[in-house]
Amino acid sequence: MIRTFYDEMYDAGGVVRPHYREFARWLADTPEELLAQRRREADLLFHRAGITFTLYGDEQGTERLIPFDTIPRSIPASEWRVVERGCIQRVKALNMFLADLYHDQRIIKAGIVPAEQVLANEQYQLAMQGLNLHRDIYSHISGVDLVRDGDGSYYVLEDNLRTPSGVSYMLEDRKMMMRLFPELFAAQRIAPIDHYPSLLLDTLKSSSPIDNPSVVVLTPGRFNSAFFEHAFLAREMGVELVEGADLFVRDDRVFMRTTDGPKAVDVIYRRLDDAYLDPLAFNPESMLGVPGLLAAYRSGNVILANAIGTGVADDKSVYPYVTDMIRFYLDEEPILKNVPTWQCRKPEELSHVLAHLPELVVKETQGSGGYGMLVGPAASAAEIENFRARLKARPHAYIAQPTLSLSTCPTFVENGIAPRHIDLRPFVLAGRETRVVPGGLTRVALREGSLVVNSSQGGGTKDTWVVED
């Protein structure tokens, strides 16, 4: 099977696309040795600054660098505006879906989303039923994962409404590019993104009805894979970075322990999963959470961003219904496409999936991070048979999608420059208004032919430019 890939920099005839012309000229004019030297400099700077992540399953908890590629991913501004509107539309609909789900459930009554798909979902939180949230916002910070198929059109691969990460790499990659190649930013107009932390703080503050609320970032601690990002965002926003043990609840109010006695907390940007938030309400084994937090939350005395129970809306089994949600709540046509999805819980769709396994991508409905998925075209016969057995045993736990081509972008590899597959995660902030900083995080699969961009699976990142055309 021959698949065609859409390349971000070159069109089908091998000619540089207009929004990349300036960069291509610069690349041709810059001596290879200088580029190599700058790449080494970038590695050194990232290492020294400790911009690292921790890999799970690695006994020593070694901190690793995420490989950074110095060839940017560039998007023309006119194209970006469509993506931006599409992401905002999607997040609005998803927030309305969550509000509906935890109140009247109109969408279920209308027969659009089957009740068992959401109410029996592990991510559905009974504790949220009937609770009114300020501005009806559940997902304050969302990451929408996009890819481009062979014809160049954008598809949403998944919505991340729990604790999407990666925004610190987006910001650090830009800082690094500006430090290494300032001339590139002088030659053309590239939309700035450094104001993300201030937009985030504004979003968090506006999530509370209180004037000038006290905001904190809640981290599982420094052994978490994204600790760097938690610390980074807290520092950039100028708020406290707290761990569960730093907080306590008294009379349904949340306080932090300070050198000057207890201080009230109004908004918690939590980077901790629902299950660990409150050992009294959820996982009793959790040492990371705050006993009594749920009670304080339900009393309306503290805001959690994101809210509890958002996972039910970004679950892969609910994903196929998002386009219908947009039509149902907003009465608009979806701007961004969904990838066609077979739900293996449906017998007729399961039999189709089983018959076409070598062509499909199969994912666990609850999985994330690129763990537990099958990429049919890249898999061995044994891996396919293994998945066939798993599918038959627990069909409801899987969905399948056609293998998308995923666009490519020129990338530095061992022997010069070669195309590698990429995706895009814009970060959507929902508060007083819904906003997206231009671009997002571009992840790149560094292994030739690989379609898995997750950093836990050897993916790297690129700076993402929105260029005025």
**Window 211-250: residues binding another protein (CB under 8 A):** 221-222, 231-232, 234-235, 240-243, 245-246, 248
Task: Please select the residue that binds another protein; options are 262, 291, 300, 402, rule is CB under 8 A.
Answer: 262
Q: Which one of 257-265, 330-338, 355-363, 425-433 is the stretch in contact with another protein (CB under 8 A)?
A: 257-265
Task: Please select the residue that binds another protein; options are 25, 257, 327, 392, rule is CB under 8 A.
Answer: 257
Q: How far apart are CB 247 and another protein at their closest, in Å?
A: 10
CA 193 to the chain's CA centroid: 17
**Window 100-119: residues binding another protein (CB under 8 A):** none
| Nearest residue to 141 (alpha-carbon basis) of 53, 294, 269 | 269
Asked whether position 48 contacts another protein by CB under 8 A, the answer is yes
Please state, in angstroms and rounded to a whole number, the distance separating the CA atoms of residues 180 and 42: 8
Q: How far apart are CB 220 and another protein at their closest, in Å?
A: 12
Closest to another protein by CB, 46 or 102: 46
Asked whether position 120 contacts another protein by CB under 8 A, the answer is no
Asked whether position 415 contacts another protein by CB under 8 A, the answer is no
Q: Which one of 42-50, 65-73, 311-319, 365-373 is the stretch in contact with another protein (CB under 8 A)?
A: 42-50
Q: How far apart are CB 349 and another protein at their closest, in Å?
A: 47
Q: Show the 3-state SS of the chain.
A: CCCCCCECCECCCCCECHHHHHHHHHHHHCCHHHHHHHHHHHHHHHHHHCCEEECCCCCCCCEEECCEEEEEEEEEHHHHHHHHHHHHHHHHHHHHHHHHHCCCCHHHHCCCCCHHHHHCCCCCCHHHCCCCCHHHCCCCEEEEEEEECCCCCEEEEEEECCCCCCHHHHHHHHHHHHHHCHHHHHHCCECCCCCHHHHHHHHHHHCCCCCCCCEEEECCCCCCCCHHHHHHHHHHHCCEEECHHHEEEECCEEEEEECCEEEECCEEEECCCHHHHCCCCCCCCCCCCCCCHHHHHHCCCCEEECCCCCHHHHCCCCHHHHHHHHHHHHCCCCCCEECCCEECCCHHHHHHHHHCHHHEEEEECCCCCCCCEEEHHHCCHHHHHHHHHHHHHCHHHEEEEECCCCCEEEEEECCEEEEEEEEEECEEEECCCEEECCCCEEEEECCCCCCCCCHHHCEEEEEEEEECC
Q: How far apart are CB 446 and another protein at their closest, in Å?
A: 24
Task: Please select the residue that binds another protein; options are 33, 59, 151, 260, rule is CB under 8 A.
Answer: 260
Q: How far apart are CB 168 and another protein at their closest, in Å?
A: 12
Q: How far apart are CB 287 and another protein at their closest, in Å?
A: 14
Q: Which one of 8-16, 41-49, 291-299, 410-418 is the stretch in contact with another protein (CB under 8 A)?
A: 41-49
Q: How far apart are CB 35 and another protein at their closest, in Å?
A: 24
Closest to another protein by CB, 240 or 383: 240
Handedness of CA 118, 119, 122, 125 (dihedral sign): positive
Closest to another protein by CB, 94 or 242: 242
Handedness of CA 413, 417, 422, 428 (dihedral sign): positive
Q: Which one of 45-53, 79-87, 193-201, 298-306 is the stretch in contact with another protein (CB under 8 A)?
A: 45-53
Asked whether position 261 contacts another protein by CB under 8 A, the answer is yes
Closest to another protein by CB, 261 or 416: 261
| Size of residue set near another protein by CB under 8 A | 24
Closest to another protein by CB, 227 or 319: 227
Q: How far apart are CB 272 and another protein at their closest, in Å?
A: 16
Please state, in angstroms and rounded to a whole number, the distance separating the CA atoms of residues 457 and 455: 5
Closest to another protein by CB, 50 or 130: 50
Closest to another protein by CB, 243 or 274: 243
For 6, other C-beta atoms within 10 Å of its C-beta total: 19
Q: How far apart are CB 263 and another protein at their closest, in Å?
A: 9
Q: How far apart are CB 125 and another protein at their closest, in Å?
A: 29
Tokens for 49, please give them: 């600054």
Closest to another protein by CB, 302 or 404: 302
Asked whether position 47 contacts another protein by CB under 8 A, the answer is yes
Asked whether position 66 contacts another protein by CB under 8 A, the answer is no
Asked whether position 49 contacts another protein by CB under 8 A, the answer is yes
The residue ranges that bind another protein (CB under 8 A) are: 47-50, 221-222, 231-232, 234-235, 240-243, 245-246, 248, 256-262
